[in-house]
Each structure stands twice: as structure tokens, then as C-alpha cells.
Amino acid sequence: MYKFFMTLLIPCTIFASEVEFTKWNSGESFLNFLENHKLPQKLYYNLDKDEQTITEEIYAGVNVQILRDANNTVEQVLIPVSSELQLHLYKDKEDETYKFESIPIIYAKKQEAFSVSIENSPYYDIIKSTGSKKLAHQFVNAFKNSLNFRRDLQKGDRLVMVYEQKYRWGEPFSMPDLQVAMIEMNKKKHYIYLHTDKRYYDEKGIEAEGFMLNRPVKNARLSSGFTPRRYHPILKKYRAHLGVDYAARPGTPIMAAGGGRVIYAGYNRGYGNLIKIQHSDGYMTLYAHQKAFRKGIKRGKYVKKGEVIGYVGTTGLSTGPHLHFGLYKNGQPQNPARVIRITTNKLQGNNLQAFNTLKEEYNKMIELHLAAKTQAVCEAEFEKVYYLDPQTFQPLARGEEQNAQI
Ligand SMILES: [Zn+2]
């Protein structure tokens, strides 16, 4: 039978402005972006060094939001640079000029959990149950150094994972943060817990992190730490420093913090002579402002942990000789200090006591999910704000944007 459906054309934009969602292209620079959207180049040139450098952190594939008026002129742009901070370009209503500011990303955070009975493998069964490769990968990775699933797991063994997921515009955003993982094998339960120091420990309080880095420079002073976002009270601006700075004499050798493949060795406007090394498990390290690279270091080359790759300098947007060292996991900036260590950490004293209290809370949660035998989601914190009011630039709650005169 022949059916004819008439499509009703409902106007989707009842307001004058339109929001466009676009992805940041690989290799696109901030200056390219301004040019492509007919925005003034001085939006970049008027920035200070720190702000110019942060524009180098925009990662390929990130969702960019552009708001245009009826004449197709850009009114606002939001570009995330990390899971915490975004760049906001906007046309000032007072003087009709474009302005730049760094503002926090407002996201909702949910604590979620699930339990799975093993049919095939933890990786396969987690994907089957949750649809998320990220969760499956995180779970398997958490036990990579301590357990052998292939040898010891049996059908019907159970696992539970509790994690925190960020949401932006109602969609999962950034990587889930594993809080506790448990797997029962041969009737014995094995755990990995996230402690308040943001490191992972087993049930005895022994650090379980598998990925460890060496310090990339010897005899250097840590001159600036990692800050995913911080409000500068004097400048009245949000700032971020997505790496650590080691002040050292020019020419001091820089060593690969871990073994891996050089994926970038070249010049970058903000970071000067720059090397990026890809490691296992989605980790990448970045070495900026170098005076020169060591001979033979180029894209595609494999380097060993501790191998000299270049020399400390002050190239790019830098105020003095130092190494800016960055660590990324799946494109997200991480605090390098968290994974630079020589010996494995074992919790002691008050710290161990605090850990044990936290552990008890987590264990109760695990038992609840084991008993429920179903996927469950518990909301711990939920604050959903996702758009900026075009007049006031204040965040609007989801749904409220309907009422805003955009
Ligand atoms: Zn730096």
C-alpha cells in the first residue's frame, strides 16, 4: 500500500539568532579560526602571552558553539580548552567590538555505577551492558598490573564500577572518572579505589597506577604548577596552566619522561620548539620552549624513557629559559606531578586511616550494586546549566533558553 506522508514545516528558529555547532579541525590554529569566521585578528594579538599560549591547547574534534545574529554576524563563540575551561569570544553590546575571556565550563556531574556478570570478558561485557568503550577501557586498565583476567576469570564472576561522569548540554562530556572498581574472581574480591589525593590504591592502600613518568629535567626548579582553572584576583580573569614549568639553565638536557613515539617535533607559535611523545594507554607528553632538539629526533622516532630529546630554551611565548612540560590522557590535560615518581606509594598513618574510612563507604556501595544485580545510576550532584544568555552572558539552565530572547 502506498502511503504519503506530508512533512509539516515548523519554523525551528523563532528567534533572530542561530546557534551553530561545529568541530575544531585538526591542525586549525586560533588565528585561522578568526579569519574563517571574519573575526578581527587583534582578538589574538591583544592577548597576553599566557592567553595566547592557552589557544594552542584547543584540541581537534572539540565541539565549538557559535551564535550568530540575523545578519549572520558572529555574536558569541565558546571553545573548550580542557574539561574545566573555555574561551568565550563575544561582541560587546556597548561598544560593538569583540572581546575575549576565559570562563569556566559549567557542567553537571553525576555519580553512576553498574554491575555486570561476566559472560565473555570484562571489556566485551561492559560495552554490551553500558555501550561505552571508555568505561570498558578504564575498568580493564585499572587492573592491568595486578590481575590476569584471561587466566583467572570464570563465567558468572561479577564486577562493579562506580564513576563520575560530566555532562554538558545534556550529553556525556570528557572522560568518566573511575572512583572504585571491583571484580570478584574465584570468590575473592579485588578492588581499586580513587583516594582524595587523586591517585589509585588497592585494598591495602598500595598505589596501583601503572603509568609512571620520570622527571624530564635534572637539577631544575619547579617554577609553576598545574592549574586546570584559577581565578586571578588582580587581573580579574580566569587563567589556566595546563602543565608544569621547570626553570633551568639554557641548554640543560630534556629527557623523554617515558618511552614512546615522537608524534610532533617542530615549531609552534605559543610553545616554540615543541616535541610531543605518544605513550601507551592514551598518554601523551609535551615539551615546550626548547632551544633545540637533539640530532635525529623527529616525527615517527621511538624514544626510550630517559633518552635526551632536546635542550631547555625560551623559544615561543616564554619569559625566560624553562621547560613547559605537559601530560595528556586521551587529549585531556592532566597534572604531570600525579604520575611523576620513583617509588610506589604506600599509604600510612592518618592518610591510611582516611583511606580506610573512604574504602568502607565505597565497599557499602559495591555491595548494594552486587545485591541489586542491575545497572543502577545514583545521582550525587546534578546542576544543569548549559548556555550563556546573549544579553547578560550569564549561564542559563537547560530549558530556560527557550524564554531568552536570542
Ligand atoms: Zn608552562
Place of cell 570478558: 121
**pLDDT of res. 10:** 31
Q: How much of the chain, in percent, has pLDDT values that exceed 70?
A: 85
Which of the 8 DSSP states describes residue 69? -
Domains and their CATH numbers in the chain: 18-106+385-402 (3.10.450.350), 108-210+344-377 (3.10.450.350), 221-339 (2.70.70.10)
Is residue 359 left, alpha or beta, with left meaning phi > 0 and alpha meaning psi from -120 to 50?
A: alpha
Q: What is the CA radius of gyration of the chain?
A: 24
Residue 362 has pLDDT above 70, yes or no: yes
Roughly how many angstroms between the first and final C-alpha of the chain, as a whole number? Answer: 45
**pLDDT of res. 41:** 95
> Cα(168) to centroid of ligand 1, in Å?
28
> Cα(246) to centroid of ligand 1, in Å?
8
Least confident of 4-18, 100-114, 121-135, 268-282: 4-18
Residue 383 has pLDDT above 50, yes or no: no
Residue 1 has pLDDT above 90, yes or no: no
pLDDT in tens, 6-20: 333 333 333 456 678
Average pLDDT over residues 300-320: 94
> Cα(324) to centroid of ligand 1, in Å?
4
Stronger pLDDT, 50 or 247, i.e. the higher one: 247
**pLDDT of res. 375:** 56
pLDDT in tens, 66-116: 888 888 889 899 998 988 888 999 988 888 899 998 888 877 788 888 999
**pLDDT of res. 374:** 56
Which three-class secondary structure state does DSSP give residue 340? strand
Residues bordering ligand 1, an ion, CB closer than 5 Å: 245, 324
> Cα(325) to centroid of ligand 1, in Å?
7
* CB contact at 8 A, 161 and 146: no
Q: How far apart are CA 270 and CA 54, in angstroms?
A: 8
Least confident of 9-23, 313-327, 347-361, 364-378: 9-23
**pLDDT of res. 119:** 93
**Which residues, 6+ apart, have CB-to-CB distance to 258 below 8 Å?**
211, 212, 213, 214, 277, 279, 283, 285, 305
**pLDDT of res. 342:** 57
Which three-class secondary structure state does DSSP give residue 402? helix
> Cα(234) to centroid of ligand 1, in Å?
20
Is residue 102 left, alpha or beta, with left meaning phi > 0 and alpha meaning psi from -120 to 50?
A: beta
Average pLDDT over residues 349-368: 94
> Cα(218) to centroid of ligand 1, in Å?
17
Residue 4 has pLDDT above 50, yes or no: no
Residue 193 confidence class, pLDDT cut points 50, 70, 90: very high
Residue 177, H or E segment: strand 171-185
Average pLDDT over residues 306-322: 95
**Which residues, 6+ apart, have CB-to-CB distance to 14 below 8 Å?**
none
22 DSSP β-pair partners: 64
pLDDT in tens, 161-179: 999 988 876 678 788 889 9
Neighbours of 37 (CB within 10 A): 16
**pLDDT of res. 12:** 32
Q: How far apart are CA 73 and CA 76, in angstroms?
A: 9
> Cα(65) to centroid of ligand 1, in Å?
27
Q: Is 379 exposed, middle or buried (0-12, 13-18, 19+ CB in 10 A)?
A: exposed
Neighbours of 234 (CB within 10 A): 5
pLDDT in tens, 25-59: 988 999 999 999 999 999 999 998 889 999 999 98
Q: How far is CA 268 from CA 188, 194, 279, 317, in A?
A: 52, 36, 21, 9
**pLDDT of res. 272:** 95
**pLDDT of res. 151:** 86
Q: Which of the given ranges, 208-217, 325-334, 385-394, has the highest pLDDT on average?
A: 325-334
Residue 380 has pLDDT above 60, yes or no: no
Q: Is 131 exposed, middle or buried (0-12, 13-18, 19+ CB in 10 A)?
A: exposed
Angle at which helix 122-130 crosses helix 133-142, to 10 degrees, equals: 150
